[in-house]
Every structure is written in structure tokens, then in C-alpha cells.
Amino acid sequence: MITTPDILDAIRDHGEDSYPEEGCGFLLGTVRDGVNHVRAIRRVANRQATNRTRRYALTPDDYRAAQQAATEQGLDIVGFYHSHPDHPARPSETDLVEATFPGYTYAIVAVHDGSATDLTAWTLAPDRSRFEQEAICTETTITA
Amino acid sequence: MSTTTDTAPITIHIPTPLRAYTDEQATATVEAATVGAALRALVDHYPELDANLYTDDGTLRSFVNIYRGDEDIRHLDGPDTALEAGDELSIVPSIAGG
């Protein structure tokens, strides 16, 4: 994914604000040459009914609202982010079981004792067997 | 009077990453009388969508939700939900993890 330092900070902030529960939301942006350019995030409440320290969920209505917001900004949904409270910034078994479509960026921020540490990005392999790590490239200004 | 053989032009909205399999098109138009037939027509035209939308036994993947307009087809007649000309279908994923 390609994004800005401010957006990475916004993901970290949401992870810290949600601690000790998982925080989650959408990555909005554009796709160019197969690379997700993240231009904005959309915070959403963790809809998981129980065990929010270890699980997160976003509903279809959340997705549709995010799609509408993205469209109004000339953007698309290009991925999702969530935090791992006191857990490494790597996809869990649950993340793989629940994974949606290859091509979305799944950003994960680790939050230890309330402070964000590692921030990583992943995409589902085309055969759905595993997550592959994506490089995170930052630009101070993204040109259109 | 309608019969089950009637078909209607339907617009299907494609989620961003699946456009890699639809020649980068954000929407597809198919002719179908039911939601199930519309999805089958879509997959017939873009076969690489199949494994992303369906499991090996041909059922929709659990995270895939289909909307007709603003309504989840689970609250209608599921894949048998009837379609009329101009209806719009959306493929909407549920997102979850640990």
C-alpha cells in the first residue's frame, strides 16, 4: 500500500483509543497498477458482540455506508484495518478464516500496554491459503 | 403475465478488488430473472470470480452478502429473489477477524 504518515498515525491513534479492545475501520483510496493507494480512513465501531479484546467485526451496513462515503470523495474501499491489543501485528488464524477477497489491504497495528507499536499490511493470497505481507510506502503528498 | 423464463437487464456492482477479474469494470450488466441466475451469469462471463464468491460445493461464501437495492436478499427470497429490469445488485463483504 502507498499512503501518508498522517494516515498511518490515524490508524495507530484508533488502535490506542480502542485499547484494550480491538479498533477497526476501512481504508479508502484508489487502485493504480494493482497497488492500493490509501487516501483516508473511516473509523467504525467494533460490532463484535463479545470478546472485543480478541475479535472485531464490521457489518454489511458499515461496508455500504463506507462505500457511499468513499464514492462521495471519488474514492473506493481498498481495504480494512484493525488493531491487535497486546498481540503481534501479524494476521491471526481467525483473520485468515474470516478473510474476504484477495486485493484488499488488511492493515494491522499492534498496541502494547495502550501504545501503538508495529504497523503492518497484508493481502490474501489468490488461492486464499495465507496472507502475504505488503510493503507500506509513505509519501508526504500524494499527487492525483 | 410474467413467466420464469422472462429476463431483465440487471446491474451488478463489483467490489474494488474483484474488478481485477472483470476487466476493471465497476459494474456488469446481465440478463436474469432471479438473483441466483444473475450471479451465475456474472460468473459465467467472468469465470475468475467463481472461487472468490463460491465455495467448492457451489454455495456463496459465508462473508458474501448480496443486496438488491438496499435489501439483503436473505431477508427476501435468497437466490430465488425475483428481479425486474433496472434492479441493481451489490456484492457486499462482511469483515471480521481476530
| Residue in A43, A100, A122 to test binding to B, most B beta-carbons within 10 Å | A100
Residue A86 is predicted with a pLDDT of 98
Q: Confirm whether A9 is domain-assigned.
A: yes
Q: Does residue A28 surpass a pLDDT of 70?
A: yes
Nearest CB among A63, A78, A92 relative to B93 is that of A63
Q: Does residue B12 surpass a pLDDT of 50?
A: yes
Q: For the segment A112-128, what is each residue's pLDDT rounded down to a tens digit?
A: 999 999 999 999 999 99
Q: Does residue A142 surpass a pLDDT of 70?
A: no
- CB-CB under 8 Å, B16 with A60: no
Residue B95, classed as helix, strand or coil, is strand
Q: Are A51 and A76 in contact (CB under 8 A)?
A: no
Residue A143 is predicted with a pLDDT of 55
Residue corresponding to grid cell 428481479:
B83
Q: For the segment A57-95, what is each residue's pLDDT rounded down to a tens digit?
A: 999 999 999 999 999 999 999 999 999 999 999 999 999
Cα–Cα nearest to A124, from B6, B32, B95: B95
Alpha-carbon gap, residue A8 to A72, rounded angstroms = 22
CATH number of the structural domain spanning residue B26: 3.10.20.30
Q: For the segment B49-74, what is each residue's pLDDT rounded down to a tens digit?
A: 999 999 999 999 999 999 999 999 99
Alpha-carbon gap, residue A65 to A7, rounded angstroms = 20
| Range A26-44 average pLDDT | 97
Number of domains in chain B: 1
The amino acid occupying position A88 is: P
What sign for the dihedral angle of Cα A27, A31, A33, A38? Answer: negative
- CB-CB under 8 Å, A101 with B95: no
Q: Which domain holds residue A97?
A: 2-138
- CB-CB under 8 Å, B97 with A63: no
In this structure, the number of other CB atoms found within 10 A of the CB of residue A93 comes to 9
The amino acid occupying position A33 is: D
CATH number of the structural domain spanning residue A133: 3.40.140.10
Q: Are B82 and B33 in contact (CB under 8 A)?
A: yes
Q: Does residue B2 surpass a pLDDT of 80?
A: no
Q: Confirm whether B98 is domain-assigned.
A: no
Q: Which domain holds residue B19?
A: 8-93
